[in-house]
Amino acid sequence: MKKRVAVLAGDGIGKEVTNAATAVLDAIGRRFQHEFEWVHGLLGGDALDQAGHPIPEETIKKCEESDAILLGAIGGPKWDHYPKELRPEKGLLQLRKHFELSVNLRPVQAYKTLLSSSPLKEEVAEGVDLVFVRELTGGLYFGEPSYHTDEEAVDTLVYKREEIERVVRFAFELAKIRKKKVSSVDKANVLESSRLWRKIVEEIAADYPDVEYEHMLVDSTSMKLITSPASFDVIVTENMFGDILSDEASVICGSLGMLPSASLRADGFGLYEPVHGSAPDIAGQNKANPLGAILSGAMMLRTAFGMNQEANAIEEAVKKVLEAGFSTGEFKSQAGKVLTTTEMTEKVINE
């Protein structure tokens, strides 16, 4: 197959990790006879510096002409004082909205060899294998009115039925091919939007008699993610709760640098990016963990291109490298060998 992919490296370590991902994907291409065309575009602070806008028209055009988007990371203190319409984050939010990337997938998996770096006790983190399905283009992130004066501020949490249905149905479909359990997270004892959410979950659950489901409050969930993370399978929730809880859960596996994500449109078109940020403090030092970006590449192969075997090959390679005791510098307990970004990428490619 021949696929065109828009690569938006973004800021900080974004370039290093997307380079790592495309290198691994090129290796996959050689082995499985695919051809990937990488179309590089500007995004975030980098785009602001070079083109005056966090998401230039040209970047959107490049993405529209591609089969998928691979993203590095955006943001950094350098651009924190720009007006909000020009901040790097705005570029990302506009990208999500423009391409209607309404379903955000964030798997969290505990790798045995990395458990010693988890802040959780090993017996608590062991066996964690969950995935967040976060609504990504609604709620407080995009609701109007949204303004502040010197005296008052307003943000609006708004959801339409279709927006909730789409993401909830996605979660149940996913649970069907996983451990058959959905935890739907809301704050139905306080929020009206959560009451509609809960109602729609009930309706959709009726179509999936084989999938077990539960309603959980967001505050209890923030506890249970730490006390018994291994009890979860698929967690579905609205945009802001998903932002907070998925980041919370991301610490379980010992490093944020490990985690991939996908943001999908209804027709399957999607954006793939590591969960970690732009880490300006280590940018350009060849220290960043490329595995989050590499595993995002694997998610892209599977989800966007249906290349299951190829995706498995990458995931297996990553697992082998970790099992052999290799890791990058950010892990707390370094039993094994510490690699640079490029060394880690080489190891994965060789596997």
**Which residues are documented as binding site for substrate?**
96, 106, 134, 219
141 is an active site residue: yes
Q: What is the CA radius of gyration of the chain?
A: 20
Q: Is 219 a catalytic residue?
A: yes
Q: Does 186 bind ligand IPM (CB under 6 A)?
A: no
Give the chain's length: 351
- The answer to whether 243 is a known catalytic residue is yes
- Contacts with 185 (C-beta within 8 Å, 6 or more apart), sequence order: 216, 217, 218, 221, 235, 236, 237, 241, 245
Choice between 88 and 229, CB closer to ligand IPM: 88
**Binder among 163, 238, 243, 310 for ligand IPM (CB under 6 A):** 243
Which is nearer to a copy of itself, 124 or 294 (by Cβ)? 124
Q: Which of 1, 190, 266, 324 binds a copy of itself (CB under 8 A)?
A: 190
Pick the binder of ligand IPM from 33, 149, 189, 227 (CB under 6 A). Answer: 189
| Residues 257, 289 contacting (CB under 8 angstroms) | yes
Is residue 77 within 8 Å of residue 279, measured between CB atoms?
A: no
User: Which listed residue (35, 49, 192, 323) binds a copy of itself by CB under 8 A?
Assistant: 192
Q: Do residues 56 and 293 make contact, with C-beta atoms less than 8 angstroms apart?
A: no
Give the Cα separation of 31 and 57 in Å (integer): 35
Binding mask 233-272 for a copy of itself (x = CB under 8 A): -------xx-xxx-xx-xx----x----------------
Contact 184, 214 (CB under 8 A): yes
Give exposure, 217-228, as e/b (b: 16+ Cβ within 10 Å): ebeebbeebbee
Instruction: Please say if 160 is a catalytic residue.
Output: no
Residue 262-301 contact track with ligand IPM, rule CB under 6 A, x = bound? ----------------------------------------
Listed residue (351, 341, 329, 350) closest to 291, CA to CA: 341
| Residues in touch with a copy of itself (CB under 8 A) | 75, 84, 87, 89, 93, 118-121, 124, 140-141, 143, 146-161, 187, 189-193, 195-197, 199, 218-220, 222-223, 225-227, 240-241, 243-245, 247-248, 250-251, 256
